[in-house]
Amino acid sequence: SLVWKSSLGRVQLELEFPSGSLDFEVSPTQASAVCLLEDHARWNLADLSTKLGLPESTVHRQMTYWVRQGIVKEESVEGVVSYQCINDLDERGDTTNAGVLLIDDVQEEGGAGNDDNDEMNERYWQYTRGILCNLGQMPLERIHQMMKFAIDPDCDDELSQPELKTLLDVWVRQKELLCSGGMYSLPA
């Protein structure tokens, strides 16, 4: 059987427009998401999430990359988020900060503006979910200790406890985790 490993691999992608083309190296999820915009002019977040078989929060993070690159326009009407690909390069607008990580990005999306951070955050999500699934609810300190055991000590990716708290709080806001009295758990 085929198992989707969204955090593995890179895709070389050339997007063609009437006035020229742009090359990108992106994650498989980002490539899949933007390629779906070829089939339909507009996708709402829920339908895109269903089509990709991924949670809306993950799809939103991946689409944010394309929005920052000026390739996709995001619109929210009455709480429904939708995405539409630009028709030509002159619609891109200012992309000078496309790769810059903003504090709001971490708070709102749980990810950074680059794929390495998205993949790292996805890996931390997998660790956190596994820990809470197997051991039940626990406080930040215990999750941090457990994560230290799971991550290679020679790896530069280790999160500090405040960084982990920021990620956990993002996942709580995205309703991927629950937090009550300082104890984190998975939703039922």
Closest by Cα among 95, 124, 106 to 169: 106
**CB–CB of 113/98 below 8 Å?**
yes
- What is the C-alpha separation between 125 and 110, in angstroms, rounded? 10
pLDDT tens by residue, 104-143? 333 333 333 444 566 777 888 888 999 999 999 999 999 9
Residue 34 corresponds to which amino acid? Answer: V
- What is the C-alpha separation between 157 and 81, in angstroms, rounded? 32
The model's pTM is 0.51
pLDDT tens by residue, 135-169? 999 999 999 988 877 765 555 456 778 878 888 98
Q: For 8-54, give the DSSP string.
A: S--EEEEEEETTEEEEEEE-HHHHHHHHHHHH-SEEEHHHHHHHHTS
* Percent of the chain at pLDDT exceeding 70: 77
pLDDT at 94 over 80: no
* Percent of the chain at pLDDT exceeding 90: 27
- What is the C-alpha separation between 178 and 51, in angstroms, rounded? 26
Q: Could you tell me the pLDDT band of residue 7, with boundaries at 50, 70 and 90?
A: low
Task: State the pLDDT at residue 112.
Answer: 37
Residue that wins the pLDDT comparison between 153 and 47: 47
